[in-house]
Amino acid sequence: MTDPGVDAGPHAVLRAEMRKGAELLSVAAPPGKAGGTTSDLTVDEALLLHAAGWAPIDLVCGVTIVSVPFGVWTWGQSGEIGVASDAHGMAVRGAVDRLRAECRRVDGHGVVGVTVEATVRPHHIEVSLVGTAVRPVSKHPAPSAPFASDLSARDFTLLVGAGWIPVDLAFGASFVYAPWRSARAAMAQKMQNIELTNYTQAMYAARELAMERMQQSALAAGGTGVVEVKVSEGPMSFARHAVGFTAWGTAVTLVAASHQYLKPQVILPLDDAVVTFDATSLRGR
């Protein structure tokens, strides 16, 4: 199948390592101690973290479900749906606290690559977080308040290399009722191309409110800024007149004396972009 002569080439080391690995498994392993490292990182990410002086410890989770009282989504009012915004904030904070508690239990210094899933239902809001607890390879004592970050291992490595450290997940949410017009106003504006200023103002204010809350949560956690902010918005599937805005990111702070300029190396790939062929596109689908 393969040419034995190739073993003299650059792949010889790789093949030797493969054989070494196979040799390890050729003898029955002694019964190991219970437990072991679990992580959702890929090999690439684990290597990258290690190169930056960090190691994965354990997969950690945090979940919180908060009830939303009956009637809060009912139209007829205007402005923010305060109870829903509070419920969202409570669910996120509870989930982050549980995630950090699990991180502390395994002596982690923080959690990277946190996957955030937030579901808003008519009567409850569910927030679920999953990430990998990490610690420095040099094993410094674990901090009392480990950080939580939705940055990937790659972005975390880059951030740490630049002298910054994540401190916490920053978040903010705002739910508002779509403003309604009187029948008279609606009829009067029916034939006009005009700005609906009440809509504009309500949406503008709600977006700003969500972002402000995110920024406040970053400041409360001791961050000096927020990176990788993700903003989502849209009407609730069960109440189209209610619109939700959320803003997420990772609060960061500078730990080095000053920002470390990374001096990225500029590279010019000489390969052509891969041309993909999609048969279905020939039929215009």
Partner 1 sequence: MTNETDLPEAAVRRLEASSFSSGLTVPDFAACLELGLRPVGLVQGFCVMQWGWYGAGSSFMRGMNPYTPSGQQAGGYSQTYRCPHGFVSAEHRMWGQNLEQPWVEAAWESGYGTAYRRMVEEAQAVGAHGVIDLKDRISHVSESSTTEFHFLGTAVVVEDGAPPAGGVPWTTFLAGQRLTKSIEAGFMPIAIVASLASVRVWAYCMTEYLMDGGRGGGPTGPTGAREVDQVTEAHMVVRQLAREHVRRQLGGDAIHGARIDVVQRELSQGDEVLDCTLRGNRVRRFKDYDEMPAPRPTVRLT
Q: How far from the centroid of its chain's Cα atoms is residue 87's Cα?
A: 20
Report the alpha-carbon distance of residue 50 to residue 58 in Å, rounded. Answer: 15
Contact residue for partner 1 among 109, 111, 156, 157 (CB under 8 A): 157
What's the token pair of residue 127? 């927030």
Please report, to the nearest 10 degrees, the dihedral formed by the alpha carbons of residues 207, 211, 212, 218 taken in order.
170
Under rule CB under 8 A, residue 76 binds partner 1: no
| Residue number with CB closer to partner 1 (47 or 187) | 47
Q: If you search the block for the tokens 């106003």, which residue do you land on?
A: 185
**Cα–Cα dist 165/52, whole Å:** 13
Closest distance to partner 1 from the beta carbon of 13 (Å): 9
Stretch 107-126: interaction string toward partner 1, x if CB under 8 A:
---------------xxx-x
CB of 262 to partner 1, least distance (A): 5
Considering the complex, state which of residue 13 and residue 187 has its C-beta at the smaller distance from partner 1.
13
Closest to partner 1 by CB, 59 vs 203, is 59
Please tell me whether residue 69 binds partner 1 under the rule CB under 8 A: yes
Using rule CB under 8 A, residue 24 touches partner 1: yes
8-state DSSP, 191: T
- Hey, what are 158's tokens? 């880059």
240 binds partner 1 (CB under 8 A): no
**38 is a contact residue toward partner 1 (CB under 8 A):** yes
How many residues interact with partner 1 (rule CB under 8 A)?
78
Q: Is 209 in the site for partner 1 (CB under 8 A)?
A: no
Per the listing, tokens 């849209």 go with: 234
Residue that the structure tokens 């008519």 belong to: 122
Q: Is 275 in the site for partner 1 (CB under 8 A)?
A: no
Q: Confirm or reject binding of residue 264 to partner 1 (CB under 8 A).
A: yes
Specify which residues 64 forms β-bridges with.
127
Q: Which residue's CB is nearer to partner 1, number 42 or number 216? A: 42
- Tell the smallest beta-carbon distance from residue 195 to partner 1 (Å): 34
Among 148, 168, 181, 267, binds partner 1 (CB under 8 A): 267
Q: Which residues, 6 or more positions from 62, have their beta carbon under 8 angstroms from its beta carbon?
A: 94, 95, 96, 97, 98, 99, 100, 101, 102, 128, 129
Determine if 138 is a binding residue for partner 1 (CB under 8 A).
no
Q: Which residues of 18-54 are buried (b: 16+ CB within 10 A; e: fewer)?
A: eeeeeeeeeeeeeeeeeeeeebebeeebbebbeebeb
Answer yes or no whether residue 222 interacts with partner 1 by CB under 8 A.
Answer: no
The H-or-E segment that residue 102 falls in is helix 82-105
State the minimum distance, in angstroms, from the CB of residue 95 to partner 1: 9
